[in-house]
Chains A and B, each alone.
Chain A
Amino acid sequence: SQKIEQNSEALNIQEGKTATLTCNYTNYSPAYLQWYRQDPGRGPVFLLLIRENEKEKRKERLKVTFDTTLKQSLFHITASQPADSATYLCALGNLDGSGNTGKLIFGQGTTLQVKP
């Protein structure tokens, strides 16, 4: 069955450093991959989408890579700040026969703690 693995252990880093989170998947060939941020008591918030034919995507201090051969995505936050502390979820999706996006399969998430 389809499986998405994110590091279940919390990632603790110092402010100003680059945080790197990993998302690995098996038994799936997604057309796109997304990253979401979730704060305690709130719903996930969309951050970035990367398609299978894209290797890398950037948005401000965020960078996502997508390696369909390794079946892995890396999510980087550069110059991290305490405000970046949250749980980050990886999600995979596919297109239907009409090219529409649809349902997502989510990983369990990795909690990032940025210390001042």
Chain B
Amino acid sequence: DARVTQTPRHKVTEMGQEVTMRCQPILGHNTVFWYRQTMMQGLELLAYFRNRAPLDDSGMPKDRFSAEMPDATLATLKIQPSEPRDSAVYFCASGRDRGGEQYFGPGTRLTVT
């Protein structure tokens, strides 16, 4: 049963520290998405990739967030420096560009103190 995996599942860090979240998309999927979910804002798209190329990162605070796909099996989301307002659950999802549906990972719960 193919699944999207994310690490770490939980992360507690202090303000100003760098945070790196990792995602392994489902093998064969060529689109990868990063979302952030909070009670207030719901599920917001931060960035997405097709065939490892970034297509849209307009939802991401550029000064502190960065997203990359070093290879087809790994996507990363970095926050540097982290701030308390970054506390949220971060989801990675993958899919196919003709399929439409997205398959979500279990999420990384980030707490910045």
Contacts and interface: CB of A to CB of B under 8 A. Distances in A.
A106 B43 CA distance: 6
Interface residues of B, number: 26
A89 interface: yes
Interface string B36-73: 00000011110010100001100000000000000000
Size range of the chain A interface in the assembly:
20 to 34
Given A43-B91, A99-B98, A104 B103 contact: no
A34 interface: yes
B43 A102 contact: no
A43 B42 contact: no
Contact of B45 (A45, A46, A103, A108): A103
Interface in A41-55: 42-46, 49
Contact of A46 (B33, B91, B101, B105): B101
Nearest to B55: A102
Interface in B7-55: 31, 33, 35, 42-45, 48, 50, 55
20 contacts: A32-B100, A34-B101, A42-B106, A43-B91, A43-B104, A43-B106, A43-B107, A44-B91, A44-B102, A45-B104, A46-B101, A49-B101, A99-B98, A101-B95, A102-B55, A102-B97, A103-B55, A104-B33, A104-B45, A107-B42
